[in-house]
Structures are given as C-alpha cells and as structure tokens.
Structure 1
Amino acid sequence: MSSEQVSPPQESKETELRRQLGEQIRALQSATEAVDAATADRLGINRTDLHCLDVLTQRESATPSQLGTALGLTTGSVTAMLDRLARLGYLTREPDPNDRRKSVVRATAAIRRGADDLYGPLAEEGAALLERYSLPELELLLDFARRSREIQERQVRRLRDAE
C-alpha cells in the first residue's frame, strides 16, 4: 500500500467562477440593502417607506391599492404609510379624476430632487462602469439581470403564497 496521500479533486474553473459569482451577488445584495438603509435614515423614514417612494418615483402616479400590491402591504398599513410620507412632504394624495372614490398618490418634486441627490452619485458611477462593457457583454448582463429579477419575483410569490 502506498503512503502517498490522495488529494481531493480540484474544482473546475467553471465551478469556482460560479461559486465566486454567487458570493459576489450575495455581497452586492447586502451592499444595496446598506445603501438603502442609509438613504432611509437620511430621509427619516423606514425601508418600506423608501420602497414606496422608489415605486412612486418610477411611475407618474399610483393608487393606494397599487402600492399595497407592489409592496405586499395591507390596506391599513398603506394608509398609515401614506399618512407618514404626506406629513413629511414626500408625496401628495388627490382624488382620482376618473373615479372620485379613489385617490392618486404622487411623489413630490422635493423627494424626486432628494432621490437625485442621494442616488445620483451611485447612478453616475454605475453608468461609468457600464461604459467598459461591449455591446454583447451588455446584452449578456441585461439578460442575467432580467432573469435574476424574475427568479426573485417568483420566490416572493412562493413565500407569500405559503403564508
């Protein structure tokens, strides 16, 4: 019997890169959450409120029920959140011109400017980073980002449906 020890098989380069990519995605998610937490702190709001403002700054307007669906909140929670954000001057509520029984919620110009101030430097650095990629690489990154988002959305539905 030989006294030589058999070393474990080396991971393939592809396996190692997949592992590292998974680690980096997890670290990116943590870093993104930290930026959002710091932003919410600067605005004097909680993370759900920040998510609401993010939804509103991506749209022209939304109804409270649309916000509830987007944020996974009950009607009562949406009402309390909108009251807080309106008191802070971050959004407005007005009657829906098509159905006076409903209201329309909009982010104020002040919060849109504030979002630009807080997230603008991040957007600029991100845009500069994307400049280094070729068209095929950008298409690949876009495909990866889209598919990753779709996975996350499916998992949210799975977790909420299990409740």
Structure 2
Amino acid sequence: MSSEQVSPPQEPKETELRRQLGEEVRALQSATDAVDAATADRLGINRTDLHCLDVLTQRDSATPSQLGAALGLTTGSVTAMLDRLARLGYLTREPDAHDRRKSVVRATAGIRRGADELYGPLAQDGAALLERYSLPELELLLDFARRSREIQERHLGRLRDTGHEE
C-alpha cells in the first residue's frame, strides 16, 4: 500500500470549474501584463523601470540595493535605471541622512500623480467589483490571492536558483 494520499475523484463540474479558474487566472495575468506594457509605453519607459516605480510608489523610499533585490537587478543595472528615471523626472536620489555613503531613492510627486491618473480608473473599478462580495467571500478571495502570490514567489526563487547553476 502506498503512503501517498489519494484524492477522491472529482465531479465533472468541479474539474471543469478548476480548469476554467486556471484559464481565467492565466488570462488575468496576461491582461495585467498588457496594462503594464501600455502604461510603460505611455510613460516612455521599459517594464523594469515601471516595476521600479511601482516599488517606489508603494514605499516612502528605498536604497538602490533594496531596489536591486526587489527587481532582481545587478548594481550596474540599477544605477543605469535610476539615471534614466531621474533624467525623466520620475525619481529623486539624495544622500541618506544617517549614512552619507548611501543614497535614498524616492518617486517624485509628479510620477505619483501620473500613477494615480493612469491606474486610478482601474483601482476604482476594482473597488466597485469588491463591493459585490460578502465578508466570507472577501476572506476567500484574499486567501486565494495571497496563496497565489506565494506560489509565484516560490517559483521565481526556483527559476532564479536554477538559472545560475553551472
């Protein structure tokens, strides 16, 4: 007898719903990707630059090394990216008040307003959508979103780990 757990057979409707949900999550990822590509294009930047601005608009500030870790970039790539974004007026760099050897990077008020303009309608539509769900449904959706993110982060770690083996 095997020590593996055997799942009970799934009903055809359950199997079909799981398949449809998987397809919808994949389509959601593609739609999100397309919105981000269009936003980056509108701002005149690349997708990595957009990701950097997203990180900065979620925080008050970050150091270049924190940005490199968040984006999976080398020090040289971070420096080139920050130079580009500073020239466009999307971020500022200033010496750290506690350690002058370090710098602190912040999104400018202008890019924060721009992000609100570009993503504001999407956020409003999303908030309106969430209004239709009950508290238990919201808890379920939050659990699904959180666990899905954790799966993505674990897989990213695997991809990064296996990509550097020699």
After TM superposition, give the deviation of residue 148 of structure 1 in Å.
0.2
| Offset of residue 126 of structure 1 | 0.2
- DSSP 3-state at the match of 1:3: coil
Alpha-carbon distance, 1:4 to partner: 38
Name the CA shift for 1:6/1:42 in 2 (closer, same or farther; >3 Å): closer
Deviations 1:85-142 (A, max 9, x none): 0000000000001110000000000000000000000000000000000000000000
Equivalent residue number for residue 139 of structure 2: 139
Distance 2:2 2:117 in 1: 68
Q: Which runs of 4+ in 1 moved over 6 A?
A: 1-11
Query: What displacement does 1:45 show?
Result: 0.1
Q: 1:103 to 1:32 in 2, by over 3 A?
A: same
Return 5+ residue gaps in structure 1 as ranges.
Answer: none
Residue 9 of structure 1: how far off its partner (Å): 12
TM-score, normalised to structure 1, is: 0.92
Alignment correspondent of 2:94: 94
- Structure 1 pair 3/97, CA: closer, same or farther in 2 (3 Å)? closer
1:123 aligns with 2:123: yes
Distance 1:112 1:4, change over 3 A: closer
Structure 2 alignment gaps of length 5 or more: none
Moved more, 102-111 or 1-10: 1-10
- Structure 1 residues 5, 122: closer, same or farther in 2, change over 3 A? closer
Aligned residues: 162
Summarize the Cα distance change of 1:87–1:26 in structure 2 as closer, same or farther, 3 Å threshold: same
CA distance in 1 between counterparts of 2:91 and 2:160 reads 28
1:68 aligns with 2:68: yes
How does the TM-score come out when normalised to structure 2? 0.91
Q: 1:8 to 1:118 in 2, by over 3 A?
A: same
Deviation, 1:11, is 6.4
Q: In the superposition, relative to structure 1, how do residues 140 and 76 fare at CA in structure 2: closer, same or farther (>3 Å)?
A: same
Deviation (angstroms), 1:65: 0.1
Give the secondary structure class of the aligned counterpart of 1:100.
coil
Residues 9/37 of structure 1: CA separation in 2 closer, same or farther (3 Å cut): same
Query: Given the superposition, is the C-alpha separation of residues 50 and 4 from structure 1 closer, same or farther in structure 2, using an over 3 Å criterion?
Result: closer
| Structure 2 Cα separation of the partners of residues 45 and 94 of structure 1 | 22
**Rg (Cα) greater in structure:** 1
Kindly tell me: are residues 15 and 87 of structure 1, through their superposed partners in 2, closer, same or farther at Cα, counting changes over 3 Å? Answer: same
